[in-house]
Amino acid sequence: MAVTGQMLIGHSATLGQRGSFQALAAASGEELPPLFGGASEADLARACALAQAAFEPYRQSTLALRAAFLESIASNILALGEALIERCQLETGLPRARLEGERGRTVGQLRLFAAVVREGGFLGVRIDPAQPAREPLPRVDLRLRQIGLGPVAVFGASNFPLAFSVAGGDTASALAAGCPVIVKAHSAHPGTSELVGQAIVAAAQSHGLPEGVFSLLFDSARSIGQGLVADPRIKAVGFTGSRTGGVALMQIAAARAEPIPVYAEMSSINPVLLLPHALESRAESIAAAFVTSLTQGAGQFCTNPGLLLAVEGPALQRFEAAAASALGQVSAQTMLTPGIHHSYCQGVAALAEHAQVQTLARGLAGQGNQACAALFATSAEAFLGSPELREEVFGPASLIVRCANPASLQQVLLGLEGQLTIALHLDDGDHPQARALLPLLEQKAGRLLVNGFGTGVEVAHAMVHGGPFPATSDSRSTSVGSLAIQRFLRPVSYQDLPEALLPLELHERNPLRVPQSINGQQPGG
């Protein structure tokens, strides 16, 4: 397969006619061939019509077929081989090892959802058998299952060109739920997007799935993405990106004649708390691990540790010295796009010039699109009084907030918006303070972690990559891990249906062998 610049509308490759654009080589800034054509309103409408038509047959497909489809996407992505890695490296500037790892994660994610589909627990089957002899009134027979919401719009993320883009977590979980997907490709890696899109279409074709189960659109402006969210045939949205972008999509979705759910993963500064015993005993080693987490992948992670809180004193000074020294040695790294680099430089400059912020260290200088890491410090009072210090700076920059005492640290926490992660570094002696803080931290974040950093998001059953607004638009869900399938489902109840009309998963003899909860008893319980 080759990069051609064409969209994939159902099974057809089509060169968009509404404007054109090229990918930029992240490292050099040079334009890369070919030209990509943007989708028109008619292209959008065609993709939506195909998705709508595909919804019924796709959601009625067997669990085995749906799982096999997901697995074929995974193997087709692997079969793209070097062509995918090389194109992606050019477009994103990310190192080969990282991209190979991300490909493994993407493939693993697709296979995880295949297993989730086969297991069938996501169907949420509940059966309350009829009780004809109940007094004063007989009880009807009630059976419940979860079904797909309908076609889903997915917006590829800039910073995970594979794992949160065309065949990433949102696409995998929506397809697993039985929903067709239309991806709006991220303009920073259109060639990568096209290659992965081809892998999905080939998988759909090889399994005889209806055209329209997947489409990939390029957008030369922003109107097609917005039009996608507004289209009445779209029933849910998955997005990973900026707060501004996510909130704009939320507003479009809320203003529709039929409002729909938007799952936007947006903005988080991922506070790291250094508790006193841990800081006293391990200031230097925590500092080293912190700088590694902060600067890996040029800091371009949603879970990047952008804020560090501790009570001031000699131990924090040791930490700062060690972190500053380590950060000073960090090489500049190529960022994903000129726009991201520009925003990063602006954010860092604003912190550096802030009257109440001290620059502790800068990494090694780079060139072009390269980010120079940065570490700043301020006081709790300044932080509390300056809302601009709470905004995410996307890239390898972090701010240490020196608190006068534990009460001041708690005040800083109280003032924070919702987060994806909060990390605590603690020793046994810190347990009482940690125990007192945990209830507040639970209210602020989707994931709490001890003696680690939020970067490195395990794709697992117990993962939550989510959290209160503005970390996400909907704290009731996760965009990473098997629980993500629930975002694209809704329950339907069947009352007194003859067995001949019931879906197989609701039959008494359970021919699909899916978990069934009977009269509120847990499956198997």
Selected catalytic residue, list 71, 102, 211, 265: 265
Question: Tokens 């560090």 sit at which residue?
Answer: 308
- C-alpha pair distances (Å), 41 with each of 226, 228, 232: 11, 9, 14
The CB-of-14 to its own copies minimum distance in angstroms stands at 29
Based on the shown chain and the rule CB under 8 A, indicate whether residue 369 belongs to the binding site for its own copies.
Answer: no
Question: Tokens 């939320």 sit at which residue?
Answer: 250
Based on the shown chain and the rule CB under 8 A, indicate whether residue 490 belongs to the binding site for its own copies.
Answer: yes
The CB-of-477 to its own copies minimum distance in angstroms stands at 8
The CB-of-245 to its own copies minimum distance in angstroms stands at 15
Based on the shown chain and the rule CB under 8 A, indicate whether residue 519 belongs to the binding site for its own copies.
Answer: yes
307 by DSSP, 3-state: which? strand
For residues 99 and 81, what is the distance between their CA atoms, to the nearest angstrom? 12
For residues 87 and 321, what is the distance between their CA atoms, to the nearest angstrom? 40
CB-side exposure of 175: number of CA atoms within 13 Å? 38
Radius of gyration of the chain (CA): 25
For residues 188 and 385, what is the distance between their CA atoms, to the nearest angstrom? 36
Please name every residue paired with 8 in a beta bridge, in sequence order, or none if there are none: 13, 216
In the complex with its own copies, which residue's Cβ is closer, 346 or 443? 443
103 by DSSP, 3-state: which? helix
In the complex with its own copies, which residue's Cβ is closer, 364 or 449? 449
The CB-of-244 to its own copies minimum distance in angstroms stands at 15
Which region, judged by CB under 8 A, interacts with its own copies, from 39-47, 294-302, 408-416, 498-506?
A: 498-506
Please name every residue paired with 9 in a beta bridge, in sequence order, or none if there are none: 12
Which region, judged by CB under 8 A, interacts with its own copies, from 37-45, 256-264, 344-352, 362-370?
A: 256-264
The CB-of-440 to its own copies minimum distance in angstroms stands at 8
Which region, judged by CB under 8 A, interacts with its own copies, from 218-226, 363-371, 406-414, 516-524?
A: 516-524
For residues 66 and 118, what is the distance between their CA atoms, to the nearest angstrom? 8
Q: Which of residues 257-276 bind its own copies (CB under 8 A)?
A: 258-259, 261
Selected catalytic residue, list 48, 179, 302, 403: 302
Number of residues that bind its own copies (CB under 8 A): 80
For residues 143 and 123, what is the distance between their CA atoms, to the nearest angstrom? 12
Of 233, 313, 265, 302, nearest to 48 (Cα)? 233
Q: For 94-201, list the strands marked E by DSSP.
A: 125-128, 142-148, 152-155, 181-184
Based on the shown chain and the rule CB under 8 A, indicate whether residue 515 belongs to the binding site for its own copies.
Answer: yes
Instruction: Kindly state the tokens that stand for 387.
Output: 């809302």
The separation between CA 199 and the C-alpha centre of its own chain, rounded to angstroms, equals: 21
Q: Which of residues 380-439 bind its own copies (CB under 8 A)?
A: 417-418, 431, 434-435, 438-439
Based on the shown chain and the rule CB under 8 A, indicate whether residue 478 belongs to the binding site for its own copies.
Answer: yes
Q: Is 302 a known active-site residue?
A: yes
Q: Which of residues 40-69 bind its own copies (CB under 8 A)?
A: 56, 60
Site map 141..170 versus its own copies, x via CB under 8 A: -xxx--x-xx--------------------
For residues 485 and 263, what is the distance between their CA atoms, to the nearest angstrom? 12
Q: Is 25 left (phi over 0), alpha (psi -120 to 50) or beta?
A: beta
The CB-of-337 to its own copies minimum distance in angstroms stands at 28
Q: Which of 115, 349, 414, 504 binds its own copies (CB under 8 A)?
A: 115
Q: Sign of dihedral through CA atoms 408, 411, 417, 420?
A: positive
Based on the shown chain and the rule CB under 8 A, indicate whether residue 127 belongs to the binding site for its own copies.
Answer: yes
Based on the shown chain and the rule CB under 8 A, indicate whether residue 497 belongs to the binding site for its own copies.
Answer: yes
The CB-of-300 to its own copies minimum distance in angstroms stands at 20
Q: Which of 482, 485, 510, 512 binds its own copies (CB under 8 A)?
A: 482
Q: Is 403 a known active-site residue?
A: no
Which region, judged by CB under 8 A, interacts with its own copies, from 251-259, 270-278, 369-377, 382-390?
A: 251-259
- C-alpha pair distances (Å), 470 with each of 105, 247, 268, 419: 26, 9, 7, 7
In the complex with its own copies, which residue's Cβ is closer, 218 or 488? 488
Q: Which of residues 185-244 bind its own copies (CB under 8 A)?
A: none
The separation between CA 473 and the C-alpha centre of its own chain, rounded to angstroms, equals: 12
In the complex with its own copies, which residue's Cβ is closer, 17 or 281? 281
Q: Which of 254, 349, 414, 504 binds its own copies (CB under 8 A)?
A: 254
For residues 260 and 240, what is the distance between their CA atoms, to the nearest angstrom? 17
In the complex with its own copies, which residue's Cβ is closer, 137 or 355? 137
Site map 435..474 versus its own copies, x via CB under 8 A: x--xx--xx-xxxxxxxx---x-x-xxxxx-x-xxx--xx
In the complex with its own copies, which residue's Cβ is closer, 123 or 298? 123
In the complex with its own copies, which residue's Cβ is closer, 342 or 431? 431
Instruction: Kindly state the tokens that stand for 340.
Output: 């991201």
Of 3, 31, 21, nearest to 191 (Cα)? 3
Instruction: Kindly state the tokens that stand for 335.
Output: 């960022």
Q: Which residues are catalytic?
A: 265, 302
